[in-house]
Homo-oligomer: A and B are copies of this chain.
């Protein structure tokens, strides 16, 4: 793990790093020492580790709750080279959209391809983060990710018992129900009631599939990109309940 830069702004330290060829970013309360509870944030398809939604979420978690927050570029995203498969997928999506055809059915397969590489990368990243004094190996770890970040997160939470609470959503059950059935940690699961990319029945089926005894579905009116901002605060409270102990 190599740290490249540190910037401090409004009480938040932002450190860029690489782990092998994975570019990442770590946000922590500025000047704070000792271990912090950690939340990993997985970005959506076509976005990157410093997309506005990721940064906004990280800022809330750090300033409101004192968490450390880490994000990495998914394969073929952000500062990483795009694979030929990714380029073909992007071209197909553009063609379909231009022809007015639905792109939703293509997404689960693409997400599965990304996740096959992203899950081991997240685990490697978590190994490295937990060696930092700012994080530590003993602390709780949350994961937050929607859409492609949700598809990665379901598989990551199923595979890695270090994740103890997760905010997931905006994904269909296709290819994910089996992993969801392995998950017993508390889950806050987001759906959009009029999602043009995720069939409602399939999203509800995925929520149903989680084996967690503590799980909450938040379904809001609107399309895929219309998740209300107040859901970020809700997720911060969810992580506070489950990662900070106490109430």
A243 lies within 8 A of chain B by Cβ: no
One digit per residue, 1 when the CB lies within 8 angstroms of any chain B CB and 0 when it does not, for chain A 217-229 equals 1111100000010
B212 x A216 contact (CB < 8 A)? no
A7 lies within 8 A of chain B by Cβ: no
User: Beyond A234-B234, A237-B230, A241-B230, is A216–B208 a contact (Cβ under 8 Å)?
Assistant: no
A-side interface residues, number (CB < 8 Å): 20
Q: Please, how many angstroms separate the alpha-carbon atoms of A192 and B17 in the complex?
A: 43
B216 x A217 contact (CB < 8 A)? no
B230 x A221 contact (CB < 8 A)? no
Among candidates B204, B214, B218, B241, residue contacting A216 with C-beta atoms closer than 8 Å = B218
Among candidates B193, B217, B221, B237, residue contacting A218 with C-beta atoms closer than 8 Å = B217
Of the A-B pairs whose beta carbons lie under 8 Å apart in the complex, a sample of 26, sorted by A's number, is A193-B207, A193-B208, A193-B215, A193-B217, A204-B204, A207-B219, A212-B221, A213-B221, A214-B221, A215-B220, A215-B221, A216-B218, A216-B219, A216-B220, A216-B221, A216-B228, A217-B217, A217-B218, A217-B219, A217-B220, A218-B218, A219-B219, A230-B237, A230-B241, A233-B237, A234-B234
